[in-house]
């Protein structure tokens, strides 16, 4: 009787151990399958050009040499490893350009409608503002644009330059600010007298501008040097050179 009980116990332990082993292997297989699906590329396109418009919201057009999509990932995304150019429009007619963004790399998270651009990111607005940075986020759902790294904004045809760390703005670039301003410069363009093209530029801090109501200081002209003594002209060929006259001493009476 005792031997039967021991034998039944051994069989039961074997069955339980096999079940645990099978469950563990099944779990590992499922995890491996899930990881493989997340890493599986489901979309691939070269030299792609797409126009997107959503229910009357602002349309945008993006062009890229390479698009790779991963729709089976936990957070589906599209990757643009060879750069991207995004053009936004003021309406759905695609006739009035609002802004143009270019970057060396970009990724788009579909569920969050979030764009992330990296590497030589440049945003040019139709009103003349230009943003330069190395990383930029654009949330198409909330309409917010922001960056966590150093950024530079140039406006007024290049006359005003703002530099700061951490940038935030709306899509219109009307309400923009830096989290920490690092500096501001004003560029004065000088023109040639015979041409309307810019000849040179002088950069100075914006704080040096004259106060309102106070006349601008008159530029100080350099003091001219004493007139140089003209050199004697050489006598023409063939003419006689007059000898110097002797100097007579005059005695005072």
Average the pLDDT over 235-252 and give the result.
47
Work out the number of other CB atoms within 10 angstroms of the CB of residue 123: 24
Phi and psi torsions of 157, nearest 5°: 55, 35
For the chain, the domains span: 36-208
Q: What is the pTM of this model?
A: 0.60
Cβ–Cβ under 8 Å, residues 118 and 132: no
Distance CA 94, CA 193 (A): 42
What pLDDT digit, counting tens, does each position of 72-105 carry? 999 999 999 999 999 988 766 667 888 999 999 9
What is the tens place of the pLDDT at every residue in 175-219?
A: 889 988 888 776 665 544 443 343 434 444 454 454 445 555 544
What is the pLDDT at residue 119?
96
Cα-Cα end-to-end distance for the chain: 168
Residue 80, pLDDT score: 97
Nearest in space to 139 (alpha carbons), one of 118, 165, 162, 168 = 168
Superfamily (CATH H level) for 36-208 = Lipopolysaccharide (LPS) transport protein A like domain (2.60.450.10)
Report the pLDDT value the prediction gives residue 232, as an integer from 0 to 100: 45
Phi-psi map region of 164: left, alpha, beta (phi>0 left; psi -120 to 50 alpha): beta
CA distances from residue 152 to 130, 167, 180, 200 in whole angstroms, order as listed: 8, 9, 12, 22
């Amino acid at each position: 009787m005792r031997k039967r009980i021991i034998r039944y116990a051994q069989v039961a332990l074997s069955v339980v151990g096999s079940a645990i082993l099978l469950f563990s292997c099944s779990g590992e297989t499922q995890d491996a399958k899930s990881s493989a699906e997340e890493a599986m590329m489901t979309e691939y396109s070269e030299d792609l050009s797409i126009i997107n418009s959503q229910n009357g919201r602002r349309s945008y057009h993006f062009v890229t040499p390479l698009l790779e999509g991963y729709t089976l990932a936990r957070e589906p995304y599209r990757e643009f490893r060879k750069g991207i150019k995004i053009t936004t429009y003021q309406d759905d007619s695609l006739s009035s350009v609002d802004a143009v963004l270019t970057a060396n790399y970009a990724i788009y998270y579909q569920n969050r409608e979030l764009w992330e651009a990296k590497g030589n990111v440049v945003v040019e607005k139709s009103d003349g503002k230009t943003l330069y940075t190395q990383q930029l986020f654009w949330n198409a759902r909330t309409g917010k644009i922001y960056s966590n790294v150093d950024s530079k904004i140039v406006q007024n045809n290049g006359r005003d330059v703002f530099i700061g760390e951490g940038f935030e703005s709306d899509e219109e670039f009307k309400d923009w600010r830096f989290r920490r301003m690092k500096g501001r410069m004003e560029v004065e363009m000088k023109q040639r007298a015979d041409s309307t093209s810019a000849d040179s530029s002088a950069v100075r801090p914006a704080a040096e501008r004259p106060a309102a109501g106070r006349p601008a200081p008159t530029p100080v002209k350099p003091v001219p040097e004493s007139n140089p003594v003209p050199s004697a002209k050489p006598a023409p060929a063939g003419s006689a050179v007059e000898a110097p006259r002797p100097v007579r001493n005059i005695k005072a009476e």
